[in-house]
Amino acid sequence: MLIRSQDTDCLSPSASEITPRAVWQQRRQLLRLAALAGGASLAPWAGASQTGDRPGKLTALPGSPSTLPGALAMEPLTPHADVTGYNNFYEFGTDKSDPARHAHRMKTRPWTLRIEGLVGKPRSFGIEELLKLGAMEERIYRLRCVEGWSMVIPWVGYSLAGLLRQVEPLGSAKYVEFTTLSDPAIMPGLRAGVLDWPYVEGLRLDEAMHPLTLLAFGLYGEVLPNQNGAPLRLVVPWKYGFKSAKSIVRIRLVEQQPRTSWSLAAPREYGFYSNVNPEVPHPRWSQSSERRLGESGGLFAKRRPTLPFNGYAAQVAQLYAGMDLQRHY
């Protein structure tokens, strides 16, 4: 498959004074539910950085809670340690802990994203310009990986559609191709030969323009950690995680379906669409259930049923009306 300074004048609190993560996560979810129900009295709440849940190690990147239908999964958040310590980012190694160990070598400033191909206005964007291009939202998305594990993550970013409109896609553009950073000097995984590098992923243009398709710059109220795809990545919540390309350096609009990395490496296992579908098994295991990271029980936690389109069917199923999803997996 398949981103603190501390006040040294303050005394450290005793263990009894520290609110457990699970408690404030649940409190935060209750605040969200009340806000969505019309709780205007909750106006002072304005995102992760004001609720005490920032890990505090990276630059703050707050976002206003999204009002987009489907953008706020009302489930307990996956602990930050799991989100940032258990990753698929094969450029830094194939073990789940490799990205957290090695990705600090990647420099995310300066960073340039080039958008080209079938567009009226091809151009390059610096990361600071990209950060100011759209209104930052916090969206709590489920992320489901083809290996059978899932997370619930508070992402920060804006819809990819806003960026693509800046370059004016031509009528002949049917697909969007994403190319990620490939630097052997800092990415030890490139020497393993698991894939042909650089990593390439793709979406149909209507998938890329869907409001739920997120260009993410942060999580948990901070900029993305390197191991999570800094400084910008894709998050497509109804597809398996490997479709959400990390550390993107180029976007190209094209007429023909892109030749994507995992589909080339193992076409029987990783189709181009890769929509989460419990009825289409991976050749080596079932996709009918999943294990949510961070839940009690660890590897022995009770598995939960996998939801079609990862629970986003109401928002995206119409994109695939009339398609044979057994064949177009």
d(CA 232, CA 114): 13
Q: Has residue 257 been placed in a domain?
A: yes
DSSP 19-58: PPHHHHHHHHHHHHHHHHTT-GGGTT--SGGGTT---SSS
Q: Has residue 315 been placed in a domain?
A: yes
For residues 287-294, give the mean pLDDT.
95
pTM of the model: 0.84
pLDDT for res 292: 95
Q: Are strands 248-254 and 112-117 parallel, antiparallel or unpaired?
A: parallel
For residues 258-269, give the mean pLDDT.
96
Chain segment 170-221, per-residue pLDDT in tens: 999 999 999 999 999 999 999 988 999 999 999 999 999 999 999 999 999 9
d(CA 272, CA 202): 8
Total domains, the chain: 1
pLDDT for res 302: 85
Q: Has residue 34 been placed in a domain?
A: no
Q: Has residue 113 been placed in a domain?
A: yes
CATH code of the domain in which 157 resides: 3.90.420.10
Chain segment 87-117, per-residue pLDDT in tens: 999 999 999 999 999 999 999 999 999 999 9
In 10 A of CB 155, how many CB atoms? Answer: 25
Q: Identify the weakest region by mean pLDDT among 20-34, 191-205, 272-286, 296-310.
A: 20-34
pLDDT > 70 fraction of the chain, expressed in percent and rounded: 83
In 10 A of CB 10, how many CB atoms? Answer: 7
| Owning domain of residue 109 | 54-320
Q: Has residue 267 been placed in a domain?
A: yes
Q: Has residue 165 been placed in a domain?
A: yes
pLDDT for res 300: 74
In 10 A of CB 88, how many CB atoms? Answer: 20
Q: Has residue 111 been placed in a domain?
A: yes
* pLDDT of 225 higher than 70: yes
Sequence letter at residue 175? Y
Q: Identify the weakest region by mean pLDDT among 29-38, 142-151, 284-293.
A: 29-38
Side-by-side strand order, sheet with 200-204 = 123-126, 112-117, 248-254, 175-180, 200-204
Sign of the CA dihedral with 17 first, then 219, 95, and 276 last:
positive
For residues 230-252, give the mean pLDDT.
98
Q: Has residue 249 been placed in a domain?
A: yes
In 10 A of CB 304, how many CB atoms? Answer: 12
